[in-house]
Structure 1
Amino acid sequence: MSRQKGDFAEKRAVSFLEDLNYEIIEQNFYAKKLGEIDIIAKKDNIYHFCEVKSAPDYETAINNITPSKLGKIKRSVDYYIQSKKINPAFCIDAIIVTDESIQLLENITL
Protein backbone atom coordinates (compact mmCIF):
# COMPACT_ATOMS: atom_id res chain seq x y z
CA MET A 1 0.00 0.00 0.00
CA SER A 2 1.24 3.46 -0.78
CA ARG A 3 2.14 5.88 2.00
CA GLN A 4 -0.60 8.20 0.76
CA LYS A 5 -3.26 5.48 1.15
CA GLY A 6 -1.89 4.60 4.58
CA ASP A 7 -2.02 8.22 5.71
CA PHE A 8 -5.61 8.52 4.47
CA ALA A 9 -6.60 5.35 6.36
CA GLU A 10 -4.98 6.68 9.54
CA LYS A 11 -6.86 9.98 9.21
CA ARG A 12 -10.12 8.07 8.83
CA ALA A 13 -9.22 5.97 11.88
CA VAL A 14 -8.46 9.07 13.99
CA SER A 15 -11.81 10.62 13.05
CA PHE A 16 -13.54 7.34 13.84
CA LEU A 17 -11.94 7.20 17.31
CA GLU A 18 -12.73 10.85 18.01
CA ASP A 19 -16.37 10.18 17.10
CA LEU A 20 -16.32 7.43 19.77
CA ASN A 21 -14.97 9.95 22.33
CA TYR A 22 -11.39 8.72 22.38
CA GLU A 23 -8.73 11.32 23.15
CA ILE A 24 -5.90 11.11 20.62
CA ILE A 25 -2.62 11.24 22.56
CA GLU A 26 -0.15 10.71 19.76
CA GLN A 27 0.17 9.50 16.18
CA ASN A 28 3.01 7.65 14.46
CA PHE A 29 5.09 7.13 17.60
CA TYR A 30 8.40 5.70 16.43
CA ALA A 31 10.17 3.34 18.82
CA LYS A 32 13.86 3.09 17.97
CA LYS A 33 14.59 -0.07 15.98
CA LEU A 34 11.28 -1.59 17.08
CA GLY A 35 8.62 -0.05 14.90
CA GLU A 36 5.82 2.44 14.96
CA ILE A 37 2.57 2.75 16.85
CA ASP A 38 0.02 4.25 14.45
CA ILE A 39 -2.33 5.82 17.01
CA ILE A 40 -2.16 6.15 20.78
CA ALA A 41 -5.53 7.07 22.22
CA LYS A 42 -7.14 7.17 25.63
CA LYS A 43 -10.67 6.52 26.83
CA ASP A 44 -11.93 5.94 30.37
CA ASN A 45 -8.33 6.12 31.67
CA ILE A 46 -7.25 3.23 29.43
CA TYR A 47 -4.56 3.72 26.81
CA HIS A 48 -5.32 2.16 23.43
CA PHE A 49 -2.33 1.44 21.21
CA CYS A 50 -3.87 1.12 17.76
CA GLU A 51 -2.53 -0.54 14.65
CA VAL A 52 -4.30 0.67 11.53
CA LYS A 53 -4.61 -1.76 8.65
CA SER A 54 -6.21 -0.83 5.36
CA ALA A 55 -7.13 -2.94 2.36
CA PRO A 56 -9.95 -3.29 -0.14
CA ASP A 57 -11.53 -5.98 2.07
CA TYR A 58 -11.56 -7.00 5.74
CA GLU A 59 -9.85 -10.37 5.31
CA THR A 60 -6.83 -8.92 3.50
CA ALA A 61 -6.43 -6.19 6.09
CA ILE A 62 -6.71 -8.45 9.14
CA ASN A 63 -4.29 -10.98 7.67
CA ASN A 64 -1.65 -8.25 7.57
CA ILE A 65 -1.45 -8.36 11.37
CA THR A 66 1.04 -11.17 11.71
CA PRO A 67 2.55 -12.65 14.89
CA SER A 68 5.80 -10.86 14.00
CA LYS A 69 4.00 -7.52 13.57
CA LEU A 70 2.13 -7.96 16.86
CA GLY A 71 5.42 -8.73 18.62
CA LYS A 72 6.92 -5.49 17.30
CA ILE A 73 3.87 -3.56 18.45
CA LYS A 74 4.14 -5.06 21.95
CA ARG A 75 7.82 -4.11 22.18
CA SER A 76 7.01 -0.60 20.92
CA VAL A 77 4.29 -0.26 23.57
CA ASP A 78 6.76 -1.30 26.27
CA TYR A 79 9.24 1.28 24.97
CA TYR A 80 6.55 4.00 24.95
CA ILE A 81 5.49 3.25 28.53
CA GLN A 82 9.10 3.28 29.75
CA SER A 83 10.07 6.43 27.84
CA LYS A 84 7.02 8.34 29.13
CA LYS A 85 7.51 6.98 32.67
CA ILE A 86 3.87 5.98 32.97
CA ASN A 87 2.13 2.85 34.21
CA PRO A 88 -1.29 2.91 32.52
CA ALA A 89 -3.96 0.32 32.02
CA PHE A 90 -3.74 -0.40 28.29
CA CYS A 91 -4.65 -2.66 25.42
CA ILE A 92 -3.51 -3.16 21.87
CA ASP A 93 -6.24 -2.63 19.29
CA ALA A 94 -6.56 -2.94 15.54
CA ILE A 95 -8.52 -0.58 13.36
CA ILE A 96 -9.49 -2.18 10.09
CA VAL A 97 -10.21 0.34 7.33
CA THR A 98 -11.76 -0.93 4.12
CA ASP A 99 -13.30 0.96 1.24
CA GLU A 100 -16.72 0.51 2.83
CA SER A 101 -16.23 0.37 6.60
CA ILE A 102 -14.11 0.91 9.68
CA GLN A 103 -13.98 -1.62 12.51
CA LEU A 104 -12.30 -1.41 15.90
CA LEU A 105 -11.00 -4.68 17.31
CA GLU A 106 -10.09 -4.15 20.94
CA ASN A 107 -7.41 -6.03 22.85
CA ILE A 108 -6.05 -8.14 20.00
CA THR A 109 -3.80 -11.13 20.54
CA LEU A 110 -2.56 -13.92 18.34
Structure 2
Amino acid sequence: MSRARGDIAEERAVQFLRDSGFRIIDRNVSSRFGEIDIIALRSDILHFIEVKSALDYELAIRNITPKKLQRILRTADVYMKKHCLEIDYSIDAVAVMPESIEMLENITI
Protein backbone atom coordinates (compact mmCIF):
# COMPACT_ATOMS: atom_id res chain seq x y z
CA MET A 1 0.00 0.00 0.00
CA SER A 2 1.33 3.43 -0.85
CA ARG A 3 2.09 5.87 1.95
CA ALA A 4 -0.63 8.24 0.68
CA ARG A 5 -3.26 5.47 0.77
CA GLY A 6 -2.08 4.47 4.22
CA ASP A 7 -2.40 8.06 5.45
CA ILE A 8 -5.95 8.29 4.08
CA ALA A 9 -6.89 5.00 5.74
CA GLU A 10 -5.43 6.20 9.03
CA GLU A 11 -7.39 9.47 8.86
CA ARG A 12 -10.60 7.53 8.21
CA ALA A 13 -9.78 5.26 11.15
CA VAL A 14 -9.20 8.25 13.45
CA GLN A 15 -12.58 9.73 12.53
CA PHE A 16 -14.25 6.34 13.04
CA LEU A 17 -12.66 6.01 16.47
CA ARG A 18 -13.68 9.53 17.52
CA ASP A 19 -17.23 8.84 16.36
CA SER A 20 -17.13 5.65 18.47
CA GLY A 21 -16.21 7.51 21.66
CA PHE A 22 -12.43 7.17 21.64
CA ARG A 23 -10.07 10.00 22.52
CA ILE A 24 -6.95 9.94 20.35
CA ILE A 25 -3.85 10.11 22.55
CA ASP A 26 -1.01 9.58 20.07
CA ARG A 27 -0.27 8.48 16.52
CA ASN A 28 2.58 6.75 14.72
CA VAL A 29 4.45 5.82 17.87
CA SER A 30 7.60 3.83 17.23
CA SER A 31 10.17 1.96 19.24
CA ARG A 32 13.04 -0.24 18.20
CA PHE A 33 10.50 -3.08 18.04
CA GLY A 34 7.98 -1.52 15.67
CA GLU A 35 5.27 1.10 15.24
CA ILE A 36 1.75 1.60 16.55
CA ASP A 37 -0.55 3.54 14.25
CA ILE A 38 -2.97 4.97 16.82
CA ILE A 39 -3.15 5.07 20.60
CA ALA A 40 -6.59 5.94 21.93
CA LEU A 41 -8.47 5.97 25.23
CA ARG A 42 -12.04 4.87 25.94
CA SER A 43 -13.63 3.87 29.25
CA ASP A 44 -10.29 3.96 31.11
CA ILE A 45 -8.75 1.42 28.71
CA LEU A 46 -5.81 2.38 26.50
CA HIS A 47 -6.11 0.96 22.98
CA PHE A 48 -3.06 0.32 20.80
CA ILE A 49 -4.50 0.18 17.30
CA GLU A 50 -3.11 -1.18 14.03
CA VAL A 51 -4.80 0.24 10.93
CA LYS A 52 -5.10 -2.00 7.89
CA SER A 53 -6.56 -1.01 4.54
CA ALA A 54 -7.83 -3.59 2.05
CA LEU A 55 -10.66 -4.38 -0.30
CA ASP A 56 -12.36 -6.61 2.29
CA TYR A 57 -12.27 -7.28 6.04
CA GLU A 58 -10.78 -10.75 5.87
CA LEU A 59 -7.85 -9.61 3.73
CA ALA A 60 -7.17 -6.65 6.02
CA ILE A 61 -7.17 -8.72 9.20
CA ARG A 62 -5.16 -11.55 7.64
CA ASN A 63 -2.34 -9.03 7.11
CA ILE A 64 -1.88 -8.79 10.88
CA THR A 65 0.53 -11.64 11.47
CA PRO A 66 1.62 -13.10 14.82
CA LYS A 67 5.02 -11.45 14.27
CA LYS A 68 3.35 -8.07 13.70
CA LEU A 69 1.23 -8.55 16.84
CA GLN A 70 4.35 -9.34 18.86
CA ARG A 71 5.98 -6.12 17.64
CA ILE A 72 2.90 -4.10 18.54
CA LEU A 73 2.79 -5.69 22.00
CA ARG A 74 6.46 -4.95 22.64
CA THR A 75 6.04 -1.36 21.46
CA ALA A 76 2.96 -1.00 23.69
CA ASP A 77 5.00 -2.24 26.66
CA VAL A 78 7.72 0.33 25.90
CA TYR A 79 5.09 3.09 25.65
CA MET A 80 3.46 2.08 28.95
CA LYS A 81 6.81 2.08 30.76
CA LYS A 82 8.02 5.32 29.17
CA HIS A 83 4.84 7.14 30.24
CA CYS A 84 4.60 5.38 33.65
CA LEU A 85 1.12 4.08 32.85
CA GLU A 86 -0.52 1.38 34.92
CA ILE A 87 -3.93 1.01 33.29
CA ASP A 88 -5.64 -1.73 31.36
CA TYR A 89 -4.88 -1.85 27.67
CA SER A 90 -5.98 -3.66 24.55
CA ILE A 91 -4.32 -4.46 21.24
CA ASP A 92 -6.85 -3.75 18.47
CA ALA A 93 -7.13 -3.41 14.71
CA VAL A 94 -9.21 -1.16 12.50
CA ALA A 95 -9.89 -2.51 9.02
CA VAL A 96 -10.54 0.26 6.52
CA MET A 97 -12.35 -0.89 3.38
CA PRO A 98 -13.65 1.22 0.49
CA GLU A 99 -17.25 1.19 1.77
CA SER A 100 -16.89 0.46 5.49
CA ILE A 101 -14.71 0.44 8.58
CA GLU A 102 -14.68 -2.31 11.20
CA MET A 103 -12.85 -2.71 14.48
CA LEU A 104 -11.49 -5.89 16.00
CA GLU A 105 -10.79 -5.42 19.71
CA ASN A 106 -8.48 -7.30 22.04
CA ILE A 107 -6.45 -9.27 19.51
CA THR A 108 -4.33 -12.05 20.99
CA ILE A 109 -1.42 -14.02 19.64
Q: TM-score range by the shorter chain?
A: over 0.9
- What SS does structure 2 have at the residue aligned with 1:103? strand
1:88 aligned partner: 87
**1:62-84 CA-partner distances (Å, limit 9, x unpaired):** 11000000000000000000111
Is 1:29 matched with 2:29? yes
- Between the aligned partners of 1:44 and 1:59, the Cα distance in structure 2 is 28
Counterpart Cα distance in 2 of 1:108 and 1:51: 10
TM-score by length of 1: 0.96
Find out whether 1:9 has 2:16 as its counterpart.
no
Residue 57 of structure 1 corresponds to 56
The residue number in structure 2 matching 1:97 is 96
**2:69 counterpart of 1:45:** no
Unpaired runs of at least 5, structure 2: none
Q: C-alpha displacement at 1:59, in angstroms?
A: 1.8
Query: Any idea what SS the aligned residue of 2:76 has?
Result: helix
Q: Which amino acid aligns with 1:19?
A: D
Encode CA deviations 1:30-66: one digit per residue, 9 max, x unaligned: 11x2111100000111101100010111121111000
Aligned residues: 109
RMSD value over aligned CA atoms?
0.7
* In 2: Cα distance, 1:4 partner to 1:107 partner: 28
List alignment gaps of at least 5 residues for structure 1.
none
The sequence identity of aligned pairs, in percent, is 53
Runs of 4+ deviating beyond 2 Å = none
In structure 1, what is the Cα distance between the partners aligned to 2:93 and 2:70?
Answer: 14
